[in-house]
Amino acid sequence: MSAPSMTPTPSKAGPPRPSPPSGAGSVPPAGRFARNLKRNLTAHGFLIGAVLCFGVFSWYPMVREFFLAFQKTENGRTDWVGFDNLVTVFNDPAFWQAWGNTGLFTLLALVLGFAVPFLVAVVINEFRHGQGYLRLLVYLPVMLPPVASVLLFKYLYDPGYGLLNELFTSIGLPEQQWLQDPDISMLAVVIASTWMNMGGATLIYLAALQSIPGELYEAAELDGAGLLRKIWHVTIPQTRLILSLMALMQVIATMQVFVEPFLLTGGAGPEGSTTTVVHLIYQYAFNFNDYGAAAALGLLLLVLLAGFSAVYVKLSRAEDE
Amino acid sequence: MSTRTLISPAVLARPRGKALYWTVFAVVVLLFTLVFLGPLYWLVSSGFKDAQEVIATPPTLVPESFEPENYTRAWEVMDLATLLFNTLYYAFGALAFQLVLDVAAAYSLSKLRPVFGKAILGMMLATLMIPATVLVVPQYLTVLDVPVIERNLLNSPWAIWLPAVTNAFNIFLLKRFFDSIPKELLDAASMDGASPLRVLWSIVLPISRPILGVVSIFAVVGVWKDFLWPMLTLPDPSKQTLNVGIYSLSNGVPVNVLIAALTIASVPTLLIFLVFQRNIMSGLTAGGLKG
Amino acid sequence: MRSARFRRSRRAAAITLVSALSLTALAACGTSSSGDDGGDGAQQNGSSDPTIPLDPKTKVTLTIDCMPPAAKAAELKEWKEDVAEFNKTYPNVTIEGRSTPGQCLEPPRFTAMLKAKSQPDVFYTYFTDLPQVLAEDGAADISAYVSPKTVPLLKDIDPNVLDSLRHQGNLYGLPTSNYTMGLLINRKLFKDAGLNPDAPPRTWDEVRAAAKKIAALGDGIAGFGEYSAGNTGGWHFTAQMYSLGGDVVDASGTKAAFNNELGKQVARNLHAMRWEDDSMGKTQLLKWGDLQKQIATDKLGMFLAAPDDIAYMVQQLGAKYENFGMGPIPGGKNTLAGGNNYMVKKGISPDKIKAAVAWLNFKNLTVGKGQFDWARTKADGLPVGIPQPNFWLNGSKTKDDAARVEHATMPVENFKAFMDNPVAGKAEPPKAQEVYKILDNVMSGLLTNKDADVDKLLSTAEAQVNQILAHQ
């Protein structure tokens, strides 16, 4: 079985291979050149708007990040300071904690934000009734203004008058301090974040599940496979590509989570337990007015993410073929 | 759809299978309703409680007090109309820019294939790997003084619209879809002397409806969900988005009024969603990423 | 910056290739806000001599932030009335107010605003913001514009207050309010717990004992509350250090001064109240605004506050002012003193500066007018009789105090303990907001972790503060 395609390909043959410009070869060289030039000008004309936006708002800031990381601006004067900013960042007692938190956050977000929607999609996909209703429910929170959802969760989590503890005690579980317990504050943040955002991923998984040919399950049953083995040997391999892409998207999305911890725990959280690298960057820039340190830390994060990007590019390449 | 899924129809047809199916179904429906509608019920009902009850320990599931004036007060202090208008203005502006510029770019990269096209695409995709928040400092500095045109875009919708165009994921989706359009279809049109723009307009776009739907949803939701960027670039309270507006309000009013405000802020989009849910859902499931 | 300009010109060359599509998009960016700074020469017809007050014929538009939001309906109404009355004298000055619900000034947003130079013509700051504003070159020196001619009661304004707006002898702002911190109490809960609301606790031991009694009322009621987020945790930690005669930054301004016995005493006391006595409530990570909500709904017995919090609670949270009382800060060695003010954006025209001074004088610095029009404040249902803001001296003080008593809307004796036992004010530390941000972590650690390691919390914060202080 070939790898599943990411697009609604009309034919089973997969996307057409790139082809050389039409008519090449039948035209004399000079005409071909003129044609090529014209084609290229048109093509770049179509591109230029987006490229300019990328240039100004994406690529240029990336380059600038690099410069900022080695500069310091004070009282309107900008100086080169070499590795001073990096040293500042490294000496910050919050530095390693922030990386640890980011790692923990990513792990939790993978377990919850990535696995939960998949399981939910698998379950929903089995139902012959009420699929529309369940899909609607799961997607509902995506439509709420995120700040409203986050503040709602803050209210639910409140250890005094929050509903969640009430629920816990009513079914015999111990009360929790949720956002105020350094041990579980991050988990509480991730749960809120998953509730808010899982709708999109669930729908994508559902679409992927629905395109799995039913014969594969039949074949597996003939081999005597049970439910779990069918999931392991059919469902997961058949959605492997979309799963791996979503996992990466999830990691990257996690890296930029800002609003949830910012509003739920004030960003830093109890004993700094929800301080992520991104929050630290924000704090350097907008609390401490130290753009150099912010950029230096950002640069470190960029380097780390370069590793992820390698994986991503590899995956999308593999899928191209 | 009656496609075959994980559990075989034969198993489900058996009495035991049937019973199990309905049990699981009931539990899941109940659980999901509780998890996803429960908090919303809590939100709406708490908005009716008085200042004492809303922070009572233990909390009351059914309001014992009834203060609908929380909602009137919330409406007055929040200026929801402005916030909502601003947000929609930014969202649909961003959508328009993305539809024009990103579709043009994806079309060019997919079908016109200019020199350096691959490199440009690669550079665009590279930005996917970098969380927006990491670049927020240099991006913010850039918006304060945009190179070439030397403008300060602060407090102007351009600060939202133009950066929104740098949505590499949407370009990626569009390009992949365009890639799948048979070349013969376009060649035939080119032979008839149609310009690339015409081909895009009358052949490519009509086939691409589903992906355009998906991209549009992503574009609008992107602006709708954003918080940090609009908080930094739109400091003028009269130009704020809904998210930032609620945030500024959050510590200036009593808890019950705040909760009423959250409810009001959630209603418009929930309504839009419920009315258009068929289109949105089918757009997201059918058009986008198939596995 | 040279290299940036070079890049720009290169880009300018490249732009000739731009397609019409994107050109229109970018060209339309001309509607940006960058045009509203700088002098608008067309409107200038007044004198440019700063010592001459604003000519009423001068036509200027002033943007100003921290206008009361819709949530403060009564104050907003007064603002509009004041603008109307001001316009009787200066019909050609247009006051364009901007309002933010909640806190007018949040440090991160303020930092971004200064960096972007997007502050309005007249902008609201805390006393502690002056160094940051000057570092960003954001405020105009208004020394020449402020004289007994433009601000008639200048000589009656507490020089300590004005001094906190001076740098190297130059004046950069005009005060709107000042405060010293005290202990704000909920009188009803005091009575319910069998405590005397007219004698608020005077030492931290008494606070602890009273908190325990109040918390024993149950029903989710906390005896004493503290902040631990949004810089306000650090702010209050500082206030507690001051109250015991301590400091958070040493006299040289370069070293943290809280990792010592006094700091540990503050920390241990808080930790004990939170965890041994369980008298500080379960909900933590609170910031400014949260404790006010609690005490306004009778869920909190006491917290450290400035007197003007009462106005906020009555107006926005629907509290009753009879319910509050105030005592001096426990410990009583020093009390944190601060305040708010308006500054004028650097680079705006002299006429605008004059208009700004005229407006600020009318609204905030005239006995019997604007914010000191106590008769009106009473008529609008706002509290009168709160001890601060009060930066008057001499004849103005006599006059203003008499008016406060005459129109008092609350039993002034509720503040007797605070008024009769003044504690020496102590200014906030250098790099105050940064230091507060770091001390937030100490507070949140103490209040959220039962096993908090006091020594480690303080030493970590010390290292971070030293790093911030070394950076100047």
Task: Give the total number of structural domains in chain C.
Answer: 2
**Sign of the alpha-carbon torsion through C57, C62, C68, C69:** positive
Pair C310, C387 in one domain: no
Among the residue ranges C194-203, C306-315, C330-339, the one predicted with the least confidence is C306-315
Contact A270 C449 (CB under 8 A): yes
pLDDT confidence band for A162 (50 / 70 / 90): confident
- Which string of DSSP letters, residue by residue, matches C416-444? HHHHHS---EEPPPTTHHHHHHHHHHHHH
CA distance B140 to A68: 13
Pair C260, C230 in one domain: yes
Tell me which chains share at least 3 CB pairs under 8 Å with chain B. Answer: A, C
Q: Which residue has the tokens 């950069």?
A: C172
Contact C21 A49 (CB under 8 A): yes
Residues of chain C contacting B148 with CB distance shorter than 8 Å = 8, 11-12, 15, 26
Pair C345, C327 in one domain: no
Pair C317, C463 in one domain: yes
What is residue C24's predicted lDDT score, i.e. its pLDDT? 37
Query: Average per-residue pLDDT in chain B?
Result: 86
What is residue B132's predicted lDDT score, i.e. its pLDDT? 77
Kindly provide the b/e burial profile for residues C246-255, where b requires at least 16 CB atoms within 10 angstroms of the residue's own CB: bbbbeeeeee
Put simply, the chain B residues between 249 and 268 with a CB less than 8 A from any chain C CB are 249-255
Q: Which of C449, C459, C464 has the highest number of chain A CBs within 10 A, making it the mutation to test binding with A?
A: C449
pLDDT confidence band for C304 (50 / 70 / 90): very high
- When pLDDT is averaged across residues B208-221 and rounded to a whole number, the result is 86
Residues of chain C contacting B160 with CB distance shorter than 8 Å = none
Which comes out higher in pLDDT, residue A156 or C471? A156
What is residue B286's predicted lDDT score, i.e. its pLDDT? 54
What is residue B56's predicted lDDT score, i.e. its pLDDT? 84
Contact B77 C69 (CB under 8 A): yes
Map C183-214 to HEC letters.
EEEEHHHHHHCCCCCCCCCCCHHHHHHHHHHH
pLDDT confidence band for C365 (50 / 70 / 90): very high
B57 in reach of chain C (CB within 8 A): yes
Written out in words, the top-level CATH class of the domain with range B79-249 is mainly alpha
- When pLDDT is averaged across residues C71-93 and rounded to a whole number, the result is 91
Query: Average per-residue pLDDT in chain C?
Result: 86
Pair C83, C213 in one domain: no
Query: Average per-residue pLDDT in chain A?
Result: 82
- When pLDDT is averaged across residues A192-218 and rounded to a whole number, the result is 88
Contact C284 A265 (CB under 8 A): no
Q: Find, in chain C, the residue whose alpha carbon is nearest to that of A181.
A: C448
A229 in reach of chain B (CB within 8 A): no
Which comes out higher in pLDDT, residue C439 or B10? C439
Three-state secondary structure call for residue A143: helix
Residues of chain C contacting B51 with CB distance shorter than 8 Å = 296-297, 317-318
ipTM: 0.86
> pLDDT tens for residues B17-35?
889 999 999 999 999 999 9
Q: Which of B133, B212, B242 has the highest number of chain A CBs within 10 A, making it the mutation to test binding with A?
A: B133
Percentage of the residues of chain C whose pLDDT score is greater than 70 = 89
Pair C141, C214 in one domain: no
Tell me which chains share at least 3 CB pairs under 8 Å with chain C. Answer: A, B
Find out if CATH 1.10.3720.10 is the number for domain A85-320: yes
Pair C199, C325 in one domain: yes
Helix (H) or strand (E) holding C408: none
pLDDT confidence band for C352 (50 / 70 / 90): very high
What is residue C30's predicted lDDT score, i.e. its pLDDT? 36
Pair C96, C173 in one domain: yes
Contact A43 B117 (CB under 8 A): yes
Distance from CA of B74 to the nearest CA of C (A): 9
- When pLDDT is averaged across residues C324-341 and rounded to a whole number, the result is 94
B107 in reach of chain A (CB within 8 A): yes
- Identify each DSSP E strand in C38-102 by its residue range: 60-67, 93-99
Percentage of the residues of chain C whose pLDDT score is greater than 90 = 58
Pair C121, C173 in one domain: yes
What is residue A138's predicted lDDT score, i.e. its pLDDT? 92
> pLDDT tens for residues A56-67?
999 999 999 999
Tell me the C-alpha to C-alpha distance, in Å, between residue C449 and each of A158, A280, C444. Answer: 16, 21, 8
Percentage of the residues of chain B whose pLDDT score is greater than 70 = 96
pLDDT confidence band for C16 (50 / 70 / 90): very low
Residue C222 has pLDDT above 90, yes or no: yes
B219 in reach of chain A (CB within 8 A): no
Written as one letter, the residue type at C251 is A
Residue C411 lies in a domain: no
C350 neighbors C357 (Cβ within 8 angstroms): no
Q: Find, in chain A, the residue whose alpha carbon is nearest to that of B266.
A: A144
Pair C224, C315 in one domain: yes
Pair C74, C122 in one domain: yes
Contact A211 B291 (CB under 8 A): yes
Residue C353 has pLDDT above 90, yes or no: yes
Give residue C220's domain range: 182-336+429-470
Distance from CA of C310 to the nearest CA of A (A): 24
Distance from CA of A294 to the nearest CA of C (A): 14
- Which string of DSSP letters, residue by residue, matches B165-207? H--HHHHHHHHHHHHTS-HHHHHHHHHTT--HHHHIIIIIHHH
Helix (H) or strand (E) holding B101: none
Residues of chain A contacting C437 with CB distance shorter than 8 Å = 283, 287-288
What is residue C46's predicted lDDT score, i.e. its pLDDT? 57
Question: Looking at the partner chain, which of C30, C32, C101 has a beta carbon nearest the beta carbon of B248?
Answer: C101
> pLDDT tens for residues C384-430?
888 888 899 988 999 998 998 899 888 888 988 998 898 988 988 98
Which comes out higher in pLDDT, residue A320 or C28? A320
- When pLDDT is averaged across residues C21-45 and rounded to a whole number, the result is 39
Distance from CA of A192 to the nearest CA of C (A): 17
Distance from CA of A103 to the nearest CA of B (A): 15
**Sign of the alpha-carbon torsion through C224, C229, C235, C241:** positive
Residues of chain C contacting A161 with CB distance shorter than 8 Å = 220
Helix (H) or strand (E) holding C111: helix C107-116
Distance from CA of C56 to the nearest CA of A (A): 37
What is residue C42's predicted lDDT score, i.e. its pLDDT? 40
pLDDT confidence band for A75 (50 / 70 / 90): low
A306 in reach of chain B (CB within 8 A): yes
Judged on CB neighbours under 10 Å (0-12, 13-18, 19+), C81 is middle
Residue C49 has pLDDT above 90, yes or no: no
Q: Where are the domains of chain B?
A: 9-73, 79-249
What is residue C242's predicted lDDT score, i.e. its pLDDT? 96
pLDDT confidence band for A76 (50 / 70 / 90): low
Which CATH number fits the domain that encloses residue C301? 3.40.190.10
pLDDT confidence band for A143 (50 / 70 / 90): confident
Distance from CA of C109 to the nearest CA of A (A): 7
> pLDDT tens for residues B229-239?
998 898 888 88
Q: Find, in chain B, the residue whose alpha carbon is nearest to that of C8.
A: B148
CA distance B92 to B86: 10
Three-state secondary structure call for residue C381: coil
Residues of chain A contacting B129 with CB distance shorter than 8 Å = 252, 305-306, 308-309, 312
pTM of the full predicted structure?
0.83
Q: Which tokens is B85 given?
A: 């208008």
C17 in reach of chain A (CB within 8 A): yes
What is residue A23's predicted lDDT score, i.e. its pLDDT? 43
Pair C322, C294 in one domain: yes
What is residue A36's predicted lDDT score, i.e. its pLDDT? 82
Among the residue ranges A94-98, A209-213, C249-253, the one predicted with the least confidence is A209-213
B72 in reach of chain C (CB within 8 A): no
- The neighbouring-strand residues paired with C341 are C125, C175
CA distance C157 to C171: 14
